[in-house]
Chain A
Amino acid sequence: MAFQLVQEFKFDNVDYSYDRRSDVLDISFGLPAPAIALQVEDWLAIQVRVNPPSLQGMTVIGFRKIFDKINRYAAEELPGRMRRLATTKLSMSYDNESDTLVMRWSEGASGLHRLLQRLSFRKKEKPSIFEPLSRVADAAHPATLTDQSLRNVYVERTLPSKDIIGIKILEFTKCGPAAIEGFLGAIVDTLFEPNAPHDENVHLITNALIERLRLDRQKFAVLTAA
């Protein structure tokens, strides 16, 4: 297999605007540019740049209303969250022979840690394994539509720490859009419906997202149970 880097997203040029009156948070990777939305749910849209096609940003409608209940300082902490996002890197690679797409993300080191990494002159690749994202169906728990859409999605985890560092989608040409839809949907469901029957890996990805955004999982569970 020969994976070719398709796209690499660096979020160091993240730009955002929060309108308190309308409670809308717009995040763009670079300056705002003409875009078309991919609406995930009523509160979340991913913005795709028109020319050239690329990830432009995202819009969160009702940001304070949703996130204040989890963390009352959510709006005040936005600058810090955006600085943290700016250290994140997402790369997408595709292998034509196996029709496989791999997405990997990493959070950059900062300050002294980054300097030491540069001085070490070597890139450390941790060993990793792939695990299926959807739960295994059986007679007692038959596969749902979401499970079916996730059957080609695998989670990449490091060894031995088992940190989640990426996603692999098989048969991407045929199943890619449904897999991405199922993947995003599973994360949203796990955020708002923590008791939804998803595999442990979906919960782990959602938890990783919550940790990166420094949200409070317990408060989120109380909110979503209300």
Chain B
Amino acid sequence: MDEGISDPTGFQAILTDDCWQHIVSRHPEMQPFKPSVLEAIGMPDAIYLGKRDPTRRIYRKRHLQVAGIGDSLDLLVFVGGADGYIATAYFAAYSLRMLGTLIWPSS
């Protein structure tokens, strides 16, 4: 079943079963974190437009502790700006360079 969720800017993102299966098949650590992925869209710490691909929206949500994975990690969720479909999601320890243009929060 597809799940839709609005971000703080009103943009509607969609998580399909197929996409979720693909995410967990390649990133098995994500299995228990489907609600966290949806939460990262609905209540992110920041939203960016991709640096090299500005049509891509990137949601970042800080997690101080992720059981079995590590501490102080960012959950990154990548969404197609044109169709709203969630493309992938995973935990990142560090971003070497800017993800892109910060569009939310605007300040």
Contact = CB atoms under 8 A, between A and B. Distances in A.
A107 interface: no
B51 interface: yes
Given A17-B22, A50-B29, A66-B52, A40 B91 contact: no
A42 B100 contact: yes
Interface of A: 17, 19, 21-24, 26, 28, 32-43, 45, 47-48, 50, 59, 61-62, 65-66, 181, 184-185, 188, 192
B93 A43 contact: no
Interface of B: 18-19, 22, 25-29, 48, 50-53, 56, 58, 68-70, 73, 76, 78, 80, 85-88, 90-100
Given A40-B96, A42-B58, A66 B88 contact: no
A178 B51 CA distance: 21
Contacts of A42: 48, 50-53, 56, 58, 99-100
Nearest to B24: A32
B94 A39 contact: yes
Contacts of B51: 41-43
Contacts of A17: 22, 25-26
Contacts of B88: 19, 22, 24, 26, 59, 61
B53 A62 contact: yes
A60 to B, nearest CB: 10
A106 B70 CA distance: 33
A103 to B, nearest CB: 17
Given A37-B91, A38-B93, A50-B70, A43 B19 contact: no
A36 B92 contact: yes
A1 B91 CA distance: 39
A50 B69 contact: yes
A33 B25 CA distance: 9
Q: Chain B interface secondary structure, helix, strand, loop or mixed?
A: strand
A45 B22 CA distance: 17
Contact of A37 (B52, B93, B98): B93
Given A21-B19, A28-B26, A32-B26, A41 B69 contact: no
Contacts of B90: 35-37, 45, 47, 59
Contacts of A32: 25-28
Contacts of A181: 96
Given A61-B87, A181-B96, A43 B52 contact: yes
A40 B100 CA distance: 12
A179 to B, nearest CB: 12
Contacts of B76: 37, 39
A42 B95 CA distance: 9
28 contacts: A17-B22, A19-B22, A22-B22, A22-B86, A22-B88, A23-B87, A24-B22, A24-B78, A28-B26, A32-B26, A33-B28, A34-B29, A34-B68, A35-B29, A36-B90, A36-B92, A36-B93, A39-B92, A41-B51, A41-B96, A42-B48, A43-B51, A59-B88, A59-B90, A61-B50, A62-B52, A65-B53, A185-B97
Would you list the 9 A-B pairs with minimal beta carbon distance, nearest first? A22-B87, A34-B29, A42-B50, A37-B92, A26-B26, A39-B95, A39-B92, A62-B53, A42-B51
